[in-house]
């Protein structure tokens, strides 16, 4: 759980780093599951066909630990502190990235609100691909102003804060926070869990529907294979009330298509 | 002169680093003049708490070269690009820091940026980085809404929280570090949150300061508030000399720009207030 000051930090700067969330044993499991699922993917998409950002869902039976992470209290209760008790987990993914990531936000609509938990599986600093943020850039009008800056100009360095991290740390960031990375290797590994805020206004409802469309387009480019929601996860074999609430929400807004039910 | 992109950068992020603005010969003159000024300091004049700072004006007869930089087109020209052709050069200070950090702060809270605008050039006379006292900024925090958010964050030095959660140390606030070499200029808006971390004893910096000329009744009121602010700020350093020495006010070279500035400073009341 976050302290009041950590919540203030997140709301002020648009991100926060939680240190040593996962134990060494848990990290070993995460590494194994990542490697196992990557090998499955690589049989279908060899590396020379893989995009710079390679992404697949962790909600299948071959990644049992990662598939349960969204419901881990360290994750979902933190999301609920930041986004209210109706925060919804919409993905648990593994990502393999190559090289640099240009400056961008993950927010597709001004009234669509999400946050991402990112756990990098290698030590990272500002020279080898650590997550970079512009603190406070999730807020308007700052967020919009940055669209007019040549963010990736070689002549002018955009000011950033480097979220140096070690395996076991989690970086949580607001979708609207501008972020990037630089100097990453050809095999930068991370696990992510996304939460969306339950929309409360007509604008937010519109924003959520818009996010569905954007997510589909993004995943079409980066998704290695398979759908975001494995039938095994959707079956909810443990009858988790929280998971069922999420599934119902995901169906309502179209994140889960009827054919995947 | 700076590019339009650089002006936009400064207005967006509240700071800008300009490389190699001073030559080695110029730096030597500034260092020599700095040493003369520093020799007049003693512990009774040290201020600013953990910064352990000495501060004195460069507008006196012992620092003619440093004083002339205020009117130098390289710097005044940039100020004009940012604040208009009628902006005013108001000050040049020398600072020696002996503490290991400067706590987070904006230089001004009131009047707000809707009433007043000013910035300073800072020239660090030795190389500085994130562990040796380089200026750190929270980019964009000169904006009132962002500044108000930062005010809520507990900071160990100057806005501590409860004993069990005292807040962030200087180096724990997410910031951009303005690494600089001698000759570089780090410009920052008075309202941007800034600090430093890891500085050693005898960290030397000189500044040039410019104000936007007030145009509206609100800005004129803001300038009146600034006069009071500077008068009170001046008291913290136990100065023995005037901040606007007669040497500078006499304008011996009949510099037209300086004459205009002196007229403005007199009109606003700065000279009487800070020289009292």
Residue A224's pLDDT band (cuts 50, 70, 90): low
**If you measure CA to CA, which chain B residue comes closest to A11?**
B149
Tokens 């600090």 appear where? B195
What residues of chain B lie within 8 A of the CB of A135, using their CB?
138-140, 174-175
Decide: helix, strand or coil at residue B125.
Answer: coil
Domain of A81, CATH number, reads: 2.60.120.620
Nearest to B16 by CA among B29, B25, B3, B27: B3
> Does the structure show a pLDDT above 50 at A260?
no
Q: Mind listing the pLDDT tens digit for each residue in A34-43? A: 999 988 888 8
| A7 touching chain B per CB within 8 A | no
Mean pLDDT, chain B, as a whole number?
92
**If you measure CA to CA, which chain B residue comes closest to A153?**
B5
- A8 and B138 within 8 Å at the Cβ level: the answer is no
- B140 and A8 within 8 Å at the Cβ level: the answer is no
- A161 and B140 within 8 Å at the Cβ level: the answer is no
Residue A261's pLDDT band (cuts 50, 70, 90): very low
pLDDT at B249: 95
- The DSSP 8-state label assigned to residue B155 in this structure reads B
Give per-10-residue mean pLDDT for chain B (276 aa).
92 96 97 94 75 89 94 97 96 92 93 94 96 96 96 92 91 96 97 93 94 95 92 71 89 94 94 85
Q: Give the residue, A171 or B45, on which the prediction is more confident.
A: A171
Q: Mind listing the pLDDT tens digit for each residue in A116-160? A: 999 999 999 999 999 999 999 999 999 999 988 877 776 678 999
| A9 touching chain B per CB within 8 A | yes
- Helix orientation angle between B144-151 and A4-13, rounded to the nearest 10 degrees: 160
pLDDT at B237: 65
CB-nearest partner of B13 from A4, A9, A159:
A159
| B38 touching chain A per CB within 8 A | no
Name residues 106-125 of chain B within 8 A of A (Cβ): none
Rounded to 5 degrees, φ, ψ at A215 are: -60, -40
Q: Mutate which of B18, B104, B140, B169 to test chain A, going by most A C-beta atoms within 10 A?
A: B140
- A134 and B140 within 8 Å at the Cβ level: the answer is yes
| A178 touching chain B per CB within 8 A | no
Give one DSSP letter per residue of A123-139, joined into a string. Answer: -B-TTTT-EEE-TTTTS
Which domains, ranges and CATH numbers included, belong to chain B?
4-275 (2.60.120.620)
Rounded to 5 degrees, φ, ψ at A45 are: -130, 90
Nearest to A228 by CA among A206, A199, A253, A198: A253
What residues of chain A lie within 8 A of the CB of B15, using their CB?
159
Kindly report the pTM of this predicted structure: 0.93
Mean pLDDT, chain A, as a whole number?
90
Q: Mind listing the pLDDT tens digit for each residue in A97-110? A: 888 888 999 998 88
Tokens 């992470």 appear where? A69
How far B139 CA sits from the closest chain A CA (Å)?
7
- Structural domains of chain A, count: 1
Write out the two tokens for A224. 């290695």
CB-nearest partner of A135 from B12, B161, B174:
B174
What residues of chain A lie within 8 A of the CB of B137, using their CB?
159
Domain with A45 in it: 4-260
The H-or-E segment that residue A25 falls in is helix A24-44
Residue A70's pLDDT band (cuts 50, 70, 90): very high
pLDDT at B242: 82
- A3 and B165 within 8 Å at the Cβ level: the answer is yes
Reading phi first (left if > 0) and then psi (alpha if -120 to 50, else beta), residue B220 is in alpha
| B143 touching chain A per CB within 8 A | yes
């Amino acid at each position: 759980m976050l302290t009041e000051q950590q919540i203030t930090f997140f709301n002020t700067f648009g991100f926060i780093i939680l240190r040593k969330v996962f134990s060494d044993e848990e990290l070993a499991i995460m590494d194994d599951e990542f490697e196992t699922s990557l090998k499955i993917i690589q049989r279908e998409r060899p590396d020379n066909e893989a995009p710079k950002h390679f992404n697949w869902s962790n909600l299948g039976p071959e990644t049992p630990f990662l598939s349960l992470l969204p419901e881990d209290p360290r994750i979902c209760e933190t999301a609920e502190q930041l986004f209210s008790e109706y925060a919804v987990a919409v993905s648990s993914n593994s990502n393999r990235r190559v090289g640099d990531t240009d400056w961008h936000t993950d927010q597709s609509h001004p009234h669509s609100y999400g946050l991402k938990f990112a756990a990098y599986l290698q030590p990272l600093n500002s020279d080898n691909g650590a997550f970079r943020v512009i603190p406070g850039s999730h807020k308007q009008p700052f967020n919009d102003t940055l669209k007019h800056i040549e963010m990736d100009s070689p002549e002018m360095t955009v000011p950033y804060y480097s979220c140096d991290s070690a395996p076991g740390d989690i970086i949580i960031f607001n979708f609207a926070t501008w972020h990037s990375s630089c100097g990453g290797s050809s095999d930068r590994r991370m696990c992510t869990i996304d939460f969306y805020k339950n929309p409360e206004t007509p604008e937010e409802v519109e924003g959520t529907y818009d996010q569905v469309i954007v997510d589909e387009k993004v995943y079409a480019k980066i998704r290695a294979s398979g759908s975001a929601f494995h039938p095994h996860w959707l079956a909810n074999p443990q009858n988790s009330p929280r998971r069922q609430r999420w599934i119902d929400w995901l169906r309502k807004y179209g994140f889960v298509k009827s054919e995947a039910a | 002169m700076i590019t339009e992109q650089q002006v936009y950068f400064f207005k967006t992020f509240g700071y800008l680093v300009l490389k190699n603005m001073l030559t080695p010969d110029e730096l030597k003159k500034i260092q020599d003049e700095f040493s003369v000024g520093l020799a007049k300091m003693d512990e009774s004049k040290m201020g600013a708490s953990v910064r352990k700072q000495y501060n004195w004006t460069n507008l006196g007869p012992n620092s003619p070269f440093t004083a002339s930089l205020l009117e130098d087109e390289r710097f005044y020209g940039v100020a004009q690009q940012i604040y208009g052709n009628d902006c005013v050069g108001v000050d040049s200070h020398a600072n020696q820091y002996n503490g290991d950090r400067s706590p987070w702060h904006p230089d001004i809270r009131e009047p707000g940026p809707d009433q007043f605008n000013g910035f300073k050039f800072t020239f660090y006379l030795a190389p500085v980085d994130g562990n040796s006292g380089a200026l750190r900024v929270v980019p964009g925090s000169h904006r009132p809404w962002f500044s108000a958010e930062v005010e809520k964050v507990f900071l160990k030095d100057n806005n501590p929280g409860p004993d069990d959660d005292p807040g962030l140390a200087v180096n724990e606030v997410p910031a951009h570090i303005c690494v600089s070499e001698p000759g570089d200029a780090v410009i920052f808006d008075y309202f941007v949150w800034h600090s430093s971390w890891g500085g050693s004893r005898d960290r030397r910096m000189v500044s040039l300061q410019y104000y936007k000329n007030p145009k509206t009744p609100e800005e004129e009121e803001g300038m009146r508030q600034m006069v009071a602010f500077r008068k009170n700020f001046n008291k913290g350093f136990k100065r023995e000399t005037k901040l606007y020495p007669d040497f500078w006010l006499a304008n011996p070279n009949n510099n037209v720009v300086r004459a205009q500035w002196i007229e403005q400073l007199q009109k606003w009341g700065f000279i009487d207030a800070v020289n009292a």
